[in-house]
Amino acid sequence: MPNQDHPRGRFSTPLLPPAFPRAKDDQESSVLPADERDCTVAPAMPRERLRSAGIAALTDAELLALLLATGAKGQPVTLLAANLLRSGGGLRRISSMPSGQLEQCAGLGPAKASRIAAAFEMGRRVAQRPLPAGQPIASAADVAAHFEPHLRDRKQEVFLTLLLDGRHRLLRAVQVAEGSLTAAIVHPREALRPGVIEAAAALIFVHNHPSGDPSPSPEDLALTRKLVRAARLLAIDVLDHVIIGDGQHVSLASEGLMEPLPDPDPDLALSF
């Protein structure tokens, strides 16, 4: 029974211990101080802006602030988001950072870094147009639509072999090489081996240019011609070699650059 003689009355709320101080990761302010505002950070909190104006009206900083959810020591969440955009070089560059690299950014820990990395990966998966099961690959545009979201932001060249059946339907995509910023060392044996093992009827080769420019290099052309010649010896058709850039691609087949070397290449040694 409560003490009826207590000066606060019979039905008063019991005295509570002082609230625990908020964790550093939970500090957040609804309005930035005047000396912390700039054109990239709106004074209203992103959640309120989203409700009133819609998601499309939010700035990059506000969208990032929603992912971060809370600020850091001495930084409201909106200021932390704006600073991250500046130091990270914008959304596009941040989207290609692994979570471990994000954790090195000021104000981010494992939780925030993981949320950001997961959000960008979900965006890439949504942007990736799947190749429907049973539907043939009709063009280089089909290849680019499927693979560009995952290849265009890679910092190294990645080389894939696409295995197709007799109706040019995708069986599987196999990564056969990953190289440096400017090149991936690809041996014809490794590029063709998956097609031989899985009895593919046709192949398409795909690789990215981290520079963003999909123009084929002399090395790209030489490798493609080696691959076409070797595949013909194995009775496998090479339909195309698609180079992925930043929002654009080049089809070597469409450019008429798929013809093999005129003479057998003495350096071509196939051993499966």
Domain count, the chain: 2
Residue 167: which domain range? 140-251
Is 103 among the domain residues? yes
Range 66-94 average pLDDT: 89
Which residue in the block uniquely carries the two structure tokens 């992103």? 46
How much is the pTM?
0.62
Task: Mark whether 181 and 237 lie in a shared domain.
Answer: yes
**pLDDT value of position 263:** 53
- Say whether 158 sits in a helix, a strand or coil: strand
Asked whether residue 13 is domain-assigned, the answer is no
Question: Following DSSP, what letter does each residue of 38-96 receive, concatenated?
Answer: -TTS-SS-HHHHHHHH-GGG--HHHHHHHHH-S-BTTB-HHHHHHHHHHHHTSHHHHHT
Same domain, 243 and 149: yes
Q: Render pLDDT for 60-75 as a digit per residue (tens, 0 to 9).
A: 999 999 999 888 888 8
Whether residue 121 sits in one domain with residue 148 = no
In this structure, the answer to whether residues 84 and 122 fall within a common structural domain is: yes
Mean pLDDT rounded to a whole number for the chain: 80
Report if residue 80 sits inside a domain: yes
Q: Are residues 164 and 202 in the same domain?
A: yes
Is residue 146 domain-shared with residue 236, that is, in the same domain? yes
CATH number of the domain within which 81 lies: 1.10.150
Instruction: Give domain status of residue 15, yes or no.
Output: no
Residue 16 lies in a domain: no
The answer to whether 215 and 179 have CB atoms below 8 angstroms apart is no
* Sheet of 237-244, strands arranged across: 170-178, 158-164, 202-208, 237-244, 249-251
